[in-house]
Structure 1
Amino acid sequence: MTAKPLSRGERWLLGATSVGAVAVGALGLASSFDAVSGAAVRWGFDAPWMLPAGIDLAIPVFTVAHLLLVRMNMALAWVRAVPWALTGVTCWLNVAAGATVPARIAHGVMPLLWVVLSEIAAHAYAVRIGAATGTRMERVRRSRWLLAPFATLALWRRMVLWETTSYREALARERQRQLVRAELRERYGRAWRRRAPVRTRVLLRLGELSPDGPTAGQDQRPEPEPGPPTARASRSPAELLAQAREITRDWPTDQLTADAIRKAVRTSQHNGRTLRDTLRAERRARLPHPA
């Protein structure tokens, strides 16, 4: 489901929010940098600035690296856990830098501003990647989980198993599946799971059936192409005579036999003799009479 484009006012709001978020994140990064640097001095680091720089800057770096790997279809599961681990480390270091409980809480909250900003940016880019690659699975509505938990669990399970990323597509397939189940039950009775063909049951589980389709229990054979009329075709005497005239137009009179006309027109022997007599009589009538 494609998101609607932002309006002009929403774009302005997004720009202002982005600027504010960057400013707040910078404050959190600066606070974490100062607190961890001061603690690193007490802990005996020769270059105390390297500790906060290495940890705090590594959070967005590894997050972006993970997203780029996903974009290139080269994802590594453990790379996503690195920013989370570094987040825990930087929060713990900031808490340890405080002397009192309020100071520890304040020191622990400030780096979260930078971490939250990084996660929001990563989430926005991840959604864009999923929309571009078609791998982002849409969520099932919470109201559906509440109203029909077991049916929704089965729907979500099929979405995961068969890689159906669109929620609307999954609902459409579920509606088709329910209609096919109703058709199979109507055709085979309550024991349709045993009586229906194996292929039909497998296709139903795969979600490849559609109502009134050829696999819903009906064998649809191709209709034969219409061929020339046969002897059993219902044709009036006038139609038989018109067809015989057209076929035998260039025939010599001595070839106007009942058997030849019967085979050409594909009719009965009686009709063949009748047509022979009629055609010969017409040709005799067209001959010039002697003076």
Structure 2
Amino acid sequence: MTIAAMPPEAAPARPIPTTRPGVPAPPVAVPETAATVSDTPRRTRADTTLRLVTSVALAGGAILAGIGFAGSYKALQALGEAKGLGRFSYVFPIGLDAGIVVLLALDLLLIRRRTPWPALRWLAHAFTAGTVVFNASSGGPIREDPVGAALHGVIPLMFIAAVEAGRRLVIKLTKLEDGHQGDGVPLYRWVLAPRTTAALWRRMRLWGISSYREAVDREQELTVYRVMLEREYGSVRKAPSDARLPLTMAPYGLTVDEALALPRRQAEREKALKAAQQAAEEAARQEAEERRAQAQIAALRRQSAIQAAQAEAEAAARAAEAQAQAQVTAAERLAQLEEQAVETATIAEAKAKAAAAARREAEERRAQAAAEAEAAELERQAAQARAEAAEAEKAAEAEAQAFETQAAAEARRRAAEEEEAAAEIERRAAETRRAAAEMAAREARAAEEAERARLAAAEANRRAAEMEEAAAEARRRAAEMELRAVEMEDAAQLKPSERAARKVARMALAEAGGRAEALPLERIVEVLGVSTSTASERRREAAELLAAGYRPSVD
């Protein structure tokens, strides 16, 4: 047997020999049903006897109250007249006795409603003591006739005793309905072991234990656990801290099982906190990623719009620049051709003039006789010069036209290149717009998916609300069933152990599908507030009840 090797999660695996083994299956307990059925006539006879005794007590109490009221009325009426109350002396006894009954009835009603007020009881007892004194004094001084005074006071005292007995019964029934089995420490224990009994009573009050049997079971379990620790480790101080938890937490009202379960509960709590923290971090991370994605989408939108505008502006600027450049180039080339043509004509004319002057000078030096021949020659030469000038002018015009044609072709080629560049820019702008359109489509699809997710979440919330309503309805029906079962148990005058067994059977029907052995002992201990061994016994009795056909119902 190794206590140190036991994990904290294994709460039932503690070395206490007093713990009972697991509850057998319901079929094993079926043969005992006959004995339970055979006890039914005896229980019926006991219930009949209890009802008869209750009826006699109630009738006797009413008769005792009537006799006391009748005797007290005459005595108090005569005493009131003697003391000068006059006509008020006829109603004074009724008011006094009726006030006592009303105060006692209010005290019982408040106890039944779980709001006791002890002042009502003390005031009723004070009025009763006054009634006893008034009745004793009505026959004369009390010291002169003590026997007569006792005769006047005995019936009110009996009435007070009957009311106190009824009050005690109401308190007991109220505690049983609330699930508190309020059995105190027996008197013989105070006599036999006063010191340990005082310590036990103190723990019952400090820990809120209303059952003496449960307190004794706790004390026994703690003692056995301490002995088993000493047996395992030689001393309690040598045991691990987790194994010493029941002894450490005993002053705080925890049982052995509850103390051993503390590490497991703490681990579960830390695990739940870590899971919640991780979920919060994951949600924050997803939210940050979504914000970054939205920011990137917006930036891409702005960048695509800017790029499209820049592309359009650059294309327009390039087209205008190409057209202007072509025009300027053509104008410059035309000006150059015109200048060259003018220079060629001037040079040719100057050459012709120089040649004519030279010929004229040559002809002047020649003989005057050859003047006509020379003049003819000069005319021929002049005609030739004019022909050469015409040819030169034609050549200049042809060259100018060829240059203009070449410049225009070059300008058209450059314009074509610029148009191709503009077309390329337009194509890029179209691709950019198409990418922006695709991004917008993806955003629209993302928005649609988000809308579908939102609708799915709304549907899930609606279903969760419906499930919550169904669970609330089930809890309401369970509460009605529990109330009906408690009323039936009150009518049947069942013992506390029988009430607890039926409560466990109802828990098995509601939480374990009618299988009592599937109901955890920790759940029974939590609901009934009993030890593990008592919870095991109640679960066994509940299994027998369910096997016998016990099924509570709501009318």
Q: What range describes the TM-score normalised by the shorter chain of this pair?
A: 0.5 to 0.7
2:172 aligned with 1:131, yes or no? no
TM-score, normalised to structure 2, is: 0.35
Candidates 254, 264, 268, aligned match of 1:208 = 254
1:8 aligned to 2:48? yes
Q: Structure 1 residues 209, 126: CA separation in 2 closer, same or farther (over 3 Å shift)?
A: closer
* TM-score computed with the length of structure 1 as normaliser: 0.63
Does the CA-based 8 Å contact 2:222-2:246 persist in structure 1? Answer: no
CA distance in 1, matches of 2:44, 2:177: 15
CA 1:4–1:44: 2 relative to 1, 3 Å? farther
Worse-superposed segment, 200-209 or 144-153? 200-209
Matched, 1:80 2:126: no
Tell whether 2:148 aligns with 1:107: no
Is contact 1:134–1:165 with CA below 8 Å preserved after alignment?
Answer: no
Pair 1:161 & 2:206 matched? yes
Distance 1:207 1:123, change over 3 A: closer
2:77 to 37, 40, 52: 37
**In 1, distance between residues paired with 2:156 and 2:218?**
46
Determine the C-alpha separation between the residues in 2 that align with 1:200 and 1:30: 63
The CA deviation at 1:39 is 0.6
Task: Give 1:49 deviation, angstroms.
Answer: 3.2
- Distance (Å, rounded) in 2 between the aligned partners of 1:152 and 1:108: 39
Q: CA deviation at 1:27?
A: 0.8
AA in 1 matched with 2:212: Y
Q: 1:16 to 1:201 in 2, by over 3 A?
A: closer
| More deviation, 111-120/147-156 | 111-120
Instruction: For residue 256 of structure 2, give the secondary structure of its aligned residue in structure 1.
Output: coil
| Partner residue in 1 for 2:437 | none
Q: Rg bigger for which structure?
A: 2
Deviation string, structure 1 residues 32-82 (Cα, Å, up to 9, x no partner): 122112111111113113322222222232122123223333333322311
Structure 2: gaps spanning 5 or more residues? 1-42, 269-555
Change (3 A) 1:9 1:137: closer
Equivalent-residue separation in structure 2 for 1:175 and 1:13 (angstroms): 39
Report 1 or 2 for greater relative contact order, CA contacts < 8 Å, sequence distance ≥ 6: 2
**In structure 2, do the counterparts of structure 1 residues 70 and 8 end up closer, same or farther at CA, with 3 Å as the change threshold?**
closer
Specify whether residues 97 and 185 from structure 1 end up closer, same or farther in structure 2 by C-alpha distance, changes over 3 A only. Answer: farther
Question: Counterpart of 2:166?
Answer: 121
Number of equivalenced pairs: 220
Corresponding residue SS for 1:47: helix
1:62 aligns with 2:108: no
Cα distance in 2 for partners of 1:110, 1:83 equals 16
User: Do the aligned partners of 2:207 and 2:253 also contact (CA within 8 Å) in 1?
Assistant: no
Distance change >3 Å, CA 184–CA 92, structure 1 → 2? farther
Distance 1:194 1:86, change over 3 A: farther
1:177 aligns with 2:218: no
CA contact (8 A) 2:245 2:260 kept: no
**Distance change (3 Å), C-alpha of 1:152 and 1:162:** same
Q: CA RMSD in A?
A: 3.6
1:192-203 equivalences in 2 (<5 Å): 192=237, 200-203=246-249
Match of 2:89 in 1: 48
Q: Tell me the residue number matched to 2:63.
A: 23
Q: Quick one: distance in 2 between partners of 1:18 and 1:73? A: 23
Q: Identity over the aligned pairs, expressed in percent?
A: 26
Deviation at 1:163, TM superposition (A): 1.4
Distance 1:211 1:180 in 2: 11
Asked if 1 retains the 8 angstrom alpha-carbon contact of 2:108 and 2:167, the reply is yes
Instruction: After TM superposition, give the deviation of residue 104 of structure 1 in Å.
Output: 1.5
Deviations 1:114-157 (A, max 9, x none): 32332222222222122222456322111222222111111111
Paired letter, 1:214? L
2:188 alignment partner in structure 1: 143
- What are the ranges of 5 or more consecutive residues in structure 1 without an aligned counterpart? 223-291
Letter in 2 for 1:139: G
Q: Provide closer, same or farther for how the CA distance between residues 95 and 213 of structure 1 changes in structure 2, counting only shifts above 3 A.
A: closer
* Alpha-carbon spacing, 1:212–1:180, altered in 2? closer, same or farther (3 Å): farther
Give the structure with the higher percent helix. Answer: 2
